[in-house]
Amino acid sequence: MSGKENLSITDLGTLKALAHPLRMQLYRGLCVARTATASQLAEQVDEAVSLVSYHLRKLAEHGLIETAEPQSGDARERWWQPAAQSVSIRDKDFRDAPERAAAHLAATRLFLDQRAAMYRRYLDERLTWGAEWNSAAPDNESLLRLTAGELAELAAELLELARKYDEKGRAAEAAGDTEGRENVALHVYGFPFRT
């Protein structure tokens, strides 16, 4: 994976490039695989290789992914990797114009729908994961009384904690500790509400 830790998306073109259902699915799949070819990703999303290649090039045009070192001897294969370890899209960067705010809202809704679909799939497949994974998988709701500043502080701490565990897991895997290691999605939402 690229050495860049975070890519902050602030321009509308890049946001729209990522906020396409298939592109986001491909991007997420590439983040999980770390490196992959269009053929490998096409198999995951059940789409034609030519269509997947087109969408990967669009993601690359916007700096979201980049070519990776070949992982096989086949020179015809083009390998891809995420351009950064993480991507951030902040509301404050899209509030300056109605069309930018609308695009950010549409993207956020797409991401939520895809995350909810991932969780629904886990729920549908829960019995196949076994007791250990089901006991370990959190399903929490906390109703807090905070200021906006405190919520921002909590979000930063949770992100840092998630990064710590990601680094720990990747280091263990690189050292050969792969037994029982699975991909894990951690979705965290914090938002104000009134009763």
The reported pLDDT for the residue numbered 3 is 60
First to last CA, the chain: 44
The reported pLDDT for the residue numbered 165 is 96
The reported pLDDT for the residue numbered 12 is 95
The reported pLDDT for the residue numbered 70 is 86
* Rounded percentage of the chain residues whose pLDDT exceeds 90: 91
SS3 at position 84: coil
Residue 43 pLDDT level (bands cut at 50, 70, 90): very high
**123: which 2 tokens?**
């729920």
The reported pLDDT for the residue numbered 73 is 72
The reported pLDDT for the residue numbered 77 is 85
* Average pLDDT of the segment spanning 145-157: 97
The reported pLDDT for the residue numbered 1 is 54
Helix ranges (DSSP H) in the chain:
12-18, 21-33, 38-45, 49-61, 98-136, 148-174
Give ∠ CA 30-178-72 in degrees, rounded to 5: 50
Q: What pTM does this model have?
A: 0.87
The reported pLDDT for the residue numbered 76 is 77
